Structures are given as structure tokens and as C-alpha cells.
Amino acid sequence: MTALRTRQPTGRVPWPLILIEGGEKSGKSWACAQFSTSPRIGQMYWLDLGEGAADEYGAIPGAKYLVIEHDGTWAQIQGAVDAVKAEAARAAAAGEPPVVLVIDSMTAEWELLKDLASDKALRRHELRVRKYNAKPLGPDEEPKISMDLWNDINSRHRKLMTAVMTFPGIVLLTARGKEVAALDEAGKPIEKKRDYRVEGHKTLGFDVSCWIRLDRTKPGTVIGVRSVHVGIRPGYDDPIELARDWSIENIVFDTLQCAPAEAHTRDLVALQPAEPDDNRPVSGPPANRPVSGPPAALSAAATGLLDDLRQATDETGLRRIWNAAGEATREGRISPAELEHVRGQWRIRKEQLIPSNPATEQMHKKIHVLCKEAGLDDRDTRLLFLSDVTGREIDTQRRLSFDEGKAVIDRLEAAVAQSNPPADQEGQAA
């Protein structure tokens, strides 16, 4: 029986995570840049994603922030957030004014992730066309994004949001919002009825601690806030109208009453979907498997990889972390010693999530050998073959059930036998 552990709530105000959304030219980016003039904050870092306002707003009198340079790839975007988070932790530990991170905008972030999924779906379909004579897409057709691709981009978004939700400083997120046609349960437009929608991931409003909406034609409003100092009861209280001279500085330090000396990061404990096996230790290296201890001091990149590893729940997540560790080493963001430590912990996590089974391992080895003999050396081609045999999308061989694996082996053995007939049959054919 697990011992119950409890503690008293601290009552401390956490570091704020603020969403500022609204229509075009409603002042979202301006409000963020103006906040940089506050003497109550430390260094502000601005991550511009598809908005292009960072340079121009640097001309606001007293504005002081650093623009983060990146090449538009997800790896650099996530890496930049992790690096700023590490700097914010250092500043907080040193008692310095809080670091501020601006991400402008989360609308562009979600569009980037959807584009990544769409691009992968298109490449998969083009491979099917080349290898299996599938029907090409029409000029107005879009490739179908499979569930594993949706899971992948949702996992990436969750990783970014976890980083900002546990940021030891102040985070400002912008997003676009607009009125759209209201839909009924069947997805059809409702005549003369409009709804408001924030353009971004559907959980964005849930994750932030304060939600501000700006408008070009009327005063802005605080839609929702998680605070004991100011409350908006859904269904009872109207959104709070912002004063003409409102500022993010006033929201953070006066309305939310964030005190840098006492503020804390959100206490997010990663949920563990894998149940522990009573016959196997929950933590620690598998038997007879040497794992090196951690280097004296881990870099921010290595710490981020270990955080991701603790949150991994399936083989897809594990594979992404393994590849990310290799990429970080090649780019010099983590040392070879850190790589060895991360991959040692990776093997432990894999053993926790995917316990080894001798029969299953033998099956996968046989499939691997037969695929080579059948000429299925290319990974994408091999996965398409597995999907064809099983009748469902297979993004990794490890997702095969034991019965599916047996069916794949039967098909491969038949294909190998057909391509390599016995000598007497070859003579008869000649």
C-alpha cells in the first residue's frame, strides 16, 4: 500500500502566464513591447513567430528587449524557449528581476505544427503513389493527416506549453482571435449566430493563468483569470473591462499581485500512464545493464531532454527523444558525456514503458531479416508494407501485435520464396 503524502498549500502567487489575443492591429504586440519599459522586470526575450513586429516596436521610447534569432524550424524554436527558461531560472536563483519571454504568436506556432503534419502526410501519400500505385491527389485535395501525426504535433505543442507553464519568470503569449459562424452539432452554420474563436491550439485558454482580449473598436477585457485576488465567476460575472491606461505591468504586479521575491513556478507533476510491475523495479537500471552517472553539471539542453524523457508515454516519444539527443550532440548543445547519460536514462525509461518480451523480440528480428531479403530496406517503404498487411496505419514496427507480426512474416516468407525459387524450378523455367 502506497503511503499518503500531503502538504499544506502555500498560497503564493505563481509566475503569470498571460494570453493576449484579439483581431488584427488591436495592440497585442504593442502591449508586450511597452511592458519592456517597466523598471520592475529584468531582461525580456522576444520570440517572433510569423508576426514581424519585434524590430519595429523596438522604437517605442524606453523599450528594451532582445529578439531571438531562429531559422523557423521547430527544433530551434523549442531550443530557444528552453534556453530562455534556463536563463530565467538562473536570474531567479540570483535574486535578479524576473526574466520575461514573449512568444508572438501562438497562432503561428500552431499553424507551423499543422504544416509539419500536413507535409509528412503528403510525403507518405507520394510514397504510396510511387510504390503501390495509389491514386494521386487532385489539385484541390489535401492529404489525410493520420492519428499518429496529430499525436506527434500535439505532443510537441504540449512540450512547449509545459516549458512556459513552468517558466520561472513572466511569459506573454499572443494569438489572433475573431468572430466565426456558429455551428450546430452536425457542423452546419447556424443562421444569424456568431461565435468567437481564438486561433491556436484548443487548450491554449485552459493553460494560461490570465486571458486578455483586445479589440480595435472597444476597450479590452480580461476574459478569465486564475487568481484569489481578482475573480471572474463564469456565468455570474462579466469580463473585466480594461481601463484606458491599462498596462501589462499593472496586470502582473497590481491586479495579480505577483511578487518576484515570493513567486513560484507551477507545480506540475508529469502523469505516469505506465503501471509499475510488482516483479520489476519502477526505477533504476535493468539488471546487468551498466548506466553511467550524470556529469557534474548538466546543460540546459540535457536537462530539457531528461524532462521530455520523464514525460514520454510511448515508443514514438522515445524515438523522438533519442534522435533529438543525437542532434543536440552534433550541434554541440550537449557533450558526449551528457549524451551517454541521457541515453542511459532513455534505456531505463524504455524498459519501464515497453518491457521486453523474448517471443516478441524474436518476431521483430525475423521481420527485420525478411524485410532485407525482400528488398524492403527503405524505412518508409517497409512501414507502408506493414500498413498494407495489417490494414491500418503503422508508424513503427513495434506497434505490431503478435498476431499481426505472424501475418507479416507469412507474407514476407511467401514473397522471398517467390523471388528465390528452388534450383530445380529455375531449371524447368529455363
Name which of 27-41, 344-358, 392-406 the model is least confident about: 344-358
pLDDT band at 430 (very low <50, low <70, confident <90, very high): very low
Q: How far is CA 84 from CA 77, 78, 112, 155, in A?
A: 11, 10, 21, 21
pLDDT at 130 over 60: yes
Of the two residues 41 and 304, the one the predictor is more confident about is: 41
At 209-247, the pLDDT tens digits run 999 999 988 899 998 888 877 766 666 677 788 998 999
Q: DSSP assignment, residue 264?
A: B
Q: How many angstroms separate the CA atoms of 323 and 311, rounded?
A: 16
The confidence score (pLDDT) of residue 138 equals 85
* Helix pair 147-165, 106-132: axis angle to 10 deg: 160
pLDDT at 425 over 70: no
Question: Residue 219 has which C-alpha cell?
Answer: 476597450
The confidence score (pLDDT) of residue 231 equals 65
The answer to whether 143 and 167 are in contact (CB under 8 A) is no
Q: How many angstroms separate the CA atoms of 6 and 287, rounded?
A: 33
Question: Residue 154 has which C-alpha cell?
Answer: 500535439
The confidence score (pLDDT) of residue 276 equals 44
Report which of 293, 358, 310, 303 is spatially closest to residue 325, judged by C-alpha positions.
303
Question: Residue 145 has which C-alpha cell?
Answer: 493527416
The confidence score (pLDDT) of residue 294 equals 52
Q: Look up the pTM and report it.
A: 0.65
| Helical residues (DSSP H) of 39-98, grouped into ranges | 74-93
Share of residues in the chain with pLDDT > 70 (%): 87
The confidence score (pLDDT) of residue 283 equals 38
Q: How many angstroms separate the CA atoms of 355 and 360, rounded?
A: 10
- Taking residues 317-341, report their average pLDDT: 85
At 154-192, the pLDDT tens digits run 989 999 999 999 999 999 999 999 877 777 777 677 877
The confidence score (pLDDT) of residue 73 equals 92
Question: Residue 118 has which C-alpha cell?
Answer: 500536413
- Taking residues 57-76, report their average pLDDT: 94
Torsion angle (degrees, nearest 10) of CA 165, 18, 16, 271: -20
The C-alpha angle with vertex 391 and arms to 385 and 397, in degrees rounded to 5, equals 50
Q: How far is CA 411 from CA 359, 360, 391, 425, in A?
A: 19, 18, 13, 21
Q: What is the DSSP string of 292-350?
A: PPPPSS--HHHHHHHHHHHH--SHHHHHHHHHHHHHHHHTTSS-HHHHHHHHHHHHHHH
Task: Work out the mean pLDDT of the chain and round it to a whole number.
Answer: 83
Share of residues in the chain with pLDDT > 90 (%): 35
Of the two residues 270 and 90, the one the predictor is more confident about is: 90
At 251-308, the pLDDT tens digits run 999 988 999 888 888 777 655 554 444 444 433 434 334 444 455 567 878 888 888 8
Burial classification of residue 297, based on how many CB atoms lie within 10 Å of its CB (0-12 exposed, 13-18 middle, 19 or more buried): exposed
- Contacts of residue 18, defined as CB under 8 A and 6 or more positions apart, other chains included, come to 170, 171, 172, 173, 208, 209, 210, 211, 212, 248, 251, 252
The confidence score (pLDDT) of residue 59 equals 94
pLDDT band at 320 (very low <50, low <70, confident <90, very high): confident
For residue 14, give the 3-state DSSP assignment. strand
- Taking residues 359-370, report their average pLDDT: 84
- Taking residues 96-104, report their average pLDDT: 96
Question: Residue 216 has which C-alpha cell?
Answer: 480595435
- Taking residues 63-89, report their average pLDDT: 94
Of the two residues 55 and 232, the one the predictor is more confident about is: 55
Q: How many angstroms separate the CA atoms of 310 and 85, rounded?
A: 18
Name which of 44-53, 109-118, 356-365 the model is least confident about: 356-365
CA atoms within 13 A on the CB side of 14: 19
Q: DSSP assignment, residue 286?
A: P
Q: DSSP assignment, residue 256?
A: S
